[in-house]
Structure 1
Amino acid sequence: MKVQFLGAAQTVTGSCYMIEANGVRFAIDCGMHQGNTEIEKRNDDTEIYRPSDIAFFLVTHAHIDHTGLLPAMTRNGFTGPIYCTEPTADLLGIMLQDSAHIQEMEAEWQSRKLSRNGRIKKVEPLYTTEDATRAAEMLRPVDYGNSFEPSPGIRVTYKDAGHILGSAFLELEVTENGRPTRLVFSGDLGRPDALIVNDPQKAAPADYLFLESTYGDRDHKDPRFSRDELAEAIAYSYGNGEKVIIPAFAVERTQEVLYTLYLLHKEGRLPADMPVFVDSPLAIRATEIFRKHPKYYDDNMKKLVDSGEDPLALPNLKYTLNTQDSQALNVRSGPAVIISASGMCNAGRIKHHLRHNLWRPGASIVFVGYQGVGTPGRKIVDGNATVRLFNEDIAVKAKVFTIGSFSAHAGQSQILEWVSAFAHPQMEVFLVHGEEKAQTTLAGLLRERFNLPVSIPGYLEEVTLKPGRESLHQTDEARAHPDVDWEFLLAETEGKVAQLRKRLAGVEKRPWVEQTDIRERLVEINGELLHFLSQL
């Protein structure tokens, strides 16, 4: 059996395991890569997935970093079933359409930009809404705990991961040559006592564990204090007559924030005249899907709903479905809470809200989820003095709150507790979905506490699994991390500076107005270069 890591390898996006077993090639998850430009280029490299050779997909949950490339697979030849839970299927029906719409809009914007620059070139989207529709038609809902065989000799069981509504970790039993091999894929593991969803179920003993490590190097703050921190941000901005901006993932995080605001309202800590806006059409539709699946709620949520309460509603809650209403929020005076996507601030309406509020000393920016490397959200959390949005450097003057206890991911202690229930020295662990520091720390703890063999695979690494024997690892480092030719780039820059000197030699003979235009452009370029140097 072979497993190749096509994403979430030493990073936290693009989750995809490509597996070959029993003569069948199938995949667990197929997420979109998110981060800087080079990371996101991986989304275009569909050739490495070989979509037409994939028999089926097993999807752990609906988040785009686990599902966002499914329409690209259908666009490029995949025709098999996609297995997932019922809530995941409903959520994917809207999330893949939303993602496809973004792909189409970005392609259209890039095409217009090239046309304005005199280059006539039509940019094709990564995939279209038609591709997303085809992917949604291939979804096949399955229930927790009901094992099934998508192919002879491959038995799959979905269990509740407690991450978001309908999320799952997977138990696989692959029988080759009469010998079964048991594998557990954690997906994104949730934290105990989260709002709305159940605690993660326990896994059965396995030969191999593929384990997420997002927070492998730290624990979250005590969740009992998360309401207090959110109340503090609200009080701060309300007192200053400014807005509370909450970048939140449309699925699960927005609903959990609404639940928390509902509790603050009941406690009298949400001012009655402070409106709450959900500025994300996707989040609004996702909230309706949450209401559709009460059997997936935890006991506390079920009790509230059964008593006639709606923890996802507020007296002063308002939805902004269209662009005009969203834009109106940025000229609206007075305090307000605005929950908007994307959660990492790298796309969508949230960028506009940050542009209008990040520089205001009385405003609050409240982060309630993980911020990937290279994203604007991560730069704000890391303390950058400015963040570049829409080709403009925006000063960070708002008060920044990071409420880790809202995270849908298990913290370090919670991951270790979950593993302890089925760990044994013969179980080999592969750490995925984490950054280097988190993975290195967690690997050390797993070795120390449970005497487990632990690997941290890289992007495109392939392992051959043979229970009882050491796994064989193969890497394609040149393709995974192409070398950066710094000498070439510097020579290019120096060459352009030399050309600039030559062409400016006689510029003083031009009309004065033309000279000032050239000067302003050069000042602008120098400012760009200075900003670039400040980041090094």
Structure 2
Amino acid sequence: MTQPLTLTLNGAARTVTGSCHEFVFGKTRVLVDCGMFQGSRTLEGLNASPFGFNPHHVDAVVLTHAHIDHSGLLPRLVAEGFSGPIWCTQATADLLEYMLADSGRIHEADTARRNRRRDRAGEEPFEPLYTEADAMAAWGLCRPVEREEWFEPAPGFRARLWNAGHILGSASVEMEAGGTRVMCSGDIGPDNKAFHPDPEGPSGFDHVLCESTYGDRRRERVTIEARRKVLEAEIRGALDRGGNLLIPSFALERTQELLLDIVELLRAKAIPPVPVFIDSPLASHATDVFKRHAAELEDLHGSCVFTHPQLHFVESVQESIRLNSVSGAIILAASGMCEGGRIRHHLIHNLYRREATVLFVGYQAAGTLGRVILDGAQRVRISGQDVHVRASIRRIDSYSAHADQSELLDWVAARAPIHGSVFLVHGEDSGLETMRQLAQTRAPDATMVVPSIGETWELPAGAPARRTKTGREDIAQSLGHDWQNAYASFVTGLKRDLGRIEDEKAREEALAQMRKVLDSYAAHRDGRRRHAAEKASRER
């Protein structure tokens, strides 16, 4: 009897990052995406955990798009033995040349910085997750294919890519193996998004994997023109306050969308001719790829907005540091969730200023610095420094590259009839549960599944999926807000709180009480370990 197609979720299950869907048919193994976990330090620690499979045994990867949470572990996969093809669109391959190399350089630089710390003197050095050389080796395995044309990613599988409308080159993956037909959404873009046509795809599947990033949120429908009016108001308000306008922005797609709108506002004289600094070498490279694919993009109207004289692409660290003395400018810098990159440097130099403005234009995952700031923190800790938050914190939702709840439901409905199961992935718990309830009404014949990382499911043709392996319980505690966020919040306010205790002796007593609590937890832990060791000894 032929073995059924199986699916194992190695990431992006009950969280929005780390996408990696493992399909096995017979002896053939195909991954759809191989992305990094992003968010809290605890969650990012999963990137160094062993893969749930042997990289030598992976026959191919089909990549939905170039974002690092979908592609960022490809270099590690290659470094550990994968040598098969990475199938993707041409635009995705062009972007990966820069996205993966940049990620490799960051891992090397961060590791070198950690090894230089004085408190690590004499200890075993850390090794980078992967290097720039690993990244370029992975890029060299890319095999571009046209959308909507069948190809064979590996023996026993055939696949087609469909426009997902998310970012340049993004695709949903239609796949068939063993008589079972599956659709993986990848990340779905919203209707009427700049640059790209609306998402497309066929109907009639056995199983569908649908992202649920905004499964619990409906956005007001706005045209590009209306969105520009909102941006115009935010820019004018920020400039009236007299300081810089900082925009934490993802280097790929979000930056280019913002530049499109800012340039149109400059051309229409709707905003003053202020300098616009794009402080991200990766964003500069991504913009070059957009120029290369300009003929495929909507909304450019035959002109190249990316060469406007008010745009200044910042390359060197020295140029970036010189922006410390600038005021009344617009500064776009990565990363979009403030977890790394040059935006952290600019936050240190602007967050404490009442005249400054920070404008968030993208999703802020639980546990990230961006989410902490957006949620109203009065102090934050950035690169070892405590920073007061006095700047005006603003937000625009209409720049999302993700479909909202109603658009996701429409996408699911357009795949009907779905004869087996709908897997809701790439979401946090609130969005997943809301989507589960609503998606059932749009695909009444399908079984709704909200999987966990590590679960394996059989995917029969014309019947609901069957779980054959439970998820990893150890990962559940890594999702969402972790102890390091609480620690940073506590530490940033500790000196101030102690200062409110006027008596010197009382301050010492407060510190002693805190130490006593920590010691009690350590003693309890040691006691449990001794008890477990004694029990094991008796059983032997």
What is the TM-score when the length of structure 1 is the normalising length? 0.86
Q: How does 1:104-123 map to 2 (within 5 A)?
A: 104-113=108-117, 115-123=118-126
- How far did residue 479 of structure 1 move? 3.8
- How far did residue 445 of structure 1 move? 0.6
Which residue of 1 is the match for residue 404 of structure 2?
411
Asked if residue 458 in structure 1 is aligned to residue 448 in structure 2, the reply is no
Counterpart code for 2:236: A
Counterpart code for 1:396: V
Which residue of 2 is the match for residue 390 of structure 1?
383
Partner SS state of residue 14, structure 2: coil
Q: How does 1:95-494 map to 2 (within 5 A)?
A: 95-113=99-117, 115-174=118-177, 176=178, 180-224=179-223, 225-272=226-273, 274-298=274-298, 300-301=299-300, 304-305=301-302, 309-332=303-326, 334-424=327-417, 426-451=419-444, 452-473=446-467, 474-481=469-476
Task: Tell me, in whole angstroms, the C-alpha distance in 1 between the residues paired with 2:277 and 2:53.
Answer: 40
Conserved? CA contact 1:198–1:296, under 8 Å: no
Task: Tell me, in whole angstroms, the C-alpha distance in 2 between the residues paired with 1:483 and 1:189.
Answer: 26
The structure-2 alpha-carbon separation of the partners of 1:35 and 1:152, relative to structure 1 and needing over 3 Å to count, comes to same
Conserved? CA contact 2:181–2:461, under 8 Å: no
Partner SS state of residue 102, structure 2: helix
Partner SS state of residue 312, structure 2: strand
Task: Tell me, in whole angstroms, the C-alpha distance in 2 between the residues paired with 1:329 and 1:51.
Answer: 44
Counterpart code for 2:281: P
Which residue of 2 is the match for residue 28 of structure 1?
32
Task: Tell me, in whole angstroms, the C-alpha distance in 1 between the residues paired with 2:464 and 2:176.
Answer: 19
Task: Tell me, in whole angstroms, the C-alpha distance in 1 between the residues paired with 2:456 and 2:210.
Answer: 16
Task: Tell me, in whole angstroms, the C-alpha distance in 2 between the residues paired with 1:341 and 1:231.
Answer: 21
Counterpart code for 1:182: R
Partner SS state of residue 146, structure 1: coil
The structure-2 alpha-carbon separation of the partners of 1:257 and 1:102, relative to structure 1 and needing over 3 Å to count, comes to same
Deviations 1:61-88 (A, max 9, x none): 0000000000001111111111110010
- How far did residue 286 of structure 1 move? 0.6
Where do 5+ consecutive residues of structure 2 fail to align? 480-503, 519-540
Which residue of 1 is the match for residue 493 of structure 2?
none
- How far did residue 201 of structure 1 move? 1.2
Task: Tell me, in whole angstroms, the C-alpha distance in 1 between the residues paired with 2:320 and 2:396.
Answer: 25
Deviations 1:366-422 (A, max 9, x none): 111111110001111222222221222322222222211101101111111222223
Partner SS state of residue 286, structure 2: helix
- How far did residue 51 of structure 1 move? 0.9
Cα RMSD of the aligned pairs, angstroms, is 2.2
Conserved? CA contact 2:335–2:343, under 8 Å: yes
- How far did residue 478 of structure 1 move? 3.5
Task: Tell me, in whole angstroms, the C-alpha distance in 2 between the residues paired with 1:337 and 1:44.
Answer: 36
Conserved? CA contact 2:62–2:153, under 8 Å: no
- How far did residue 19 of structure 1 move? 1.1
Task: Tell me, in whole angstroms, the C-alpha distance in 1 between the residues paired with 2:93 and 2:232.
Answer: 34
Task: Tell me, in whole angstroms, the C-alpha distance in 2 between the residues paired with 1:469 and 1:229.
Answer: 47
Counterpart code for 1:18: E
Task: Tell me, in whole angstroms, the C-alpha distance in 2 between the residues paired with 1:215 and 1:327.
Answer: 36
Conserved? CA contact 2:216–2:430, under 8 Å: yes
The structure-2 alpha-carbon separation of the partners of 1:262 and 1:198, relative to structure 1 and needing over 3 Å to count, comes to same
Task: Tell me, in whole angstroms, the C-alpha distance in 2 between the residues paired with 1:188 and 1:476.
Answer: 23
- How far did residue 181 of structure 1 move? 1.0
Deviations 1:235-259 (A, max 9, x none): 1221122011011111100000000
Deviations 1:282-309 (A, max 9, x none): 00011010110124312x33xx12xxx2
Q: How does 1:522-533 map to 2 (within 5 A)?
A: none
Task: Tell me, in whole angstroms, the C-alpha distance in 2 between the residues paired with 1:47 and 1:83.
Answer: 20
Task: Tell me, in whole angstroms, the C-alpha distance in 2 between the residues paired with 1:2 and 1:387.
Answer: 44
- How far did residue 470 of structure 1 move? 3.5
Partner SS state of residue 173, structure 1: strand
Deviations 1:255-282 (A, max 9, x none): 000001012112222211x100000000
Which residue of 2 is the match for residue 70 of structure 1?
74
- How far did residue 138 of structure 1 move? 0.5
Task: Tell me, in whole angstroms, the C-alpha distance in 2 between the residues paired with 1:70 and 1:472.
Answer: 29
Once structures 1 and 2 are overlaid, which stretch shifts more, 375-384 or 4-13? 375-384
Task: Tell me, in whole angstroms, the C-alpha distance in 1 between the residues paired with 2:308 and 2:269.
Answer: 12
- How far did residue 117 of structure 1 move? 4.1
Task: Tell me, in whole angstroms, the C-alpha distance in 2 between the residues paired with 1:389 and 1:437.
Answer: 29
Counterpart code for 1:409: H
Conserved? CA contact 1:46–1:73, under 8 Å: no
Counterpart code for 2:276: V
Partner SS state of residue 30, structure 1: coil
Task: Tell me, in whole angstroms, the C-alpha distance in 1 between the residues paired with 2:70 and 2:109.
Answer: 22
Which residue of 2 is the match for residue 18 of structure 1?
22
Where do 5+ consecutive residues of structure 1 fail to align? 485-514, 530-536
- How far did residue 444 of structure 1 move? 0.6
Once structures 1 and 2 are overlaid, which stretch shifts more, 88-97 or 213-222? 213-222
The structure-2 alpha-carbon separation of the partners of 1:367 and 1:53, relative to structure 1 and needing over 3 Å to count, comes to same
Counterpart code for 2:60: F
Task: Tell me, in whole angstroms, the C-alpha distance in 1 between the residues paired with 2:460 and 2:449.
Answer: 15
- How far did residue 50 of structure 1 move? 1.6
- How far did residue 196 of structure 1 move? 1.2
Counterpart code for 1:132: A
Task: Tell me, in whole angstroms, the C-alpha distance in 2 between the residues paired with 1:398 and 1:242.
Answer: 9
Counterpart code for 1:249: F
Conserved? CA contact 2:419–2:463, under 8 Å: no
Task: Tell me, in whole angstroms, the C-alpha distance in 1 between the residues paired with 2:442 and 2:82.
Answer: 42
Partner SS state of residue 37, structure 2: coil
The structure-2 alpha-carbon separation of the partners of 1:483 and 1:209, relative to structure 1 and needing over 3 Å to count, comes to closer
- How far did residue 425 of structure 1 move? 5.4
The structure-2 alpha-carbon separation of the partners of 1:197 and 1:449, relative to structure 1 and needing over 3 Å to count, comes to closer
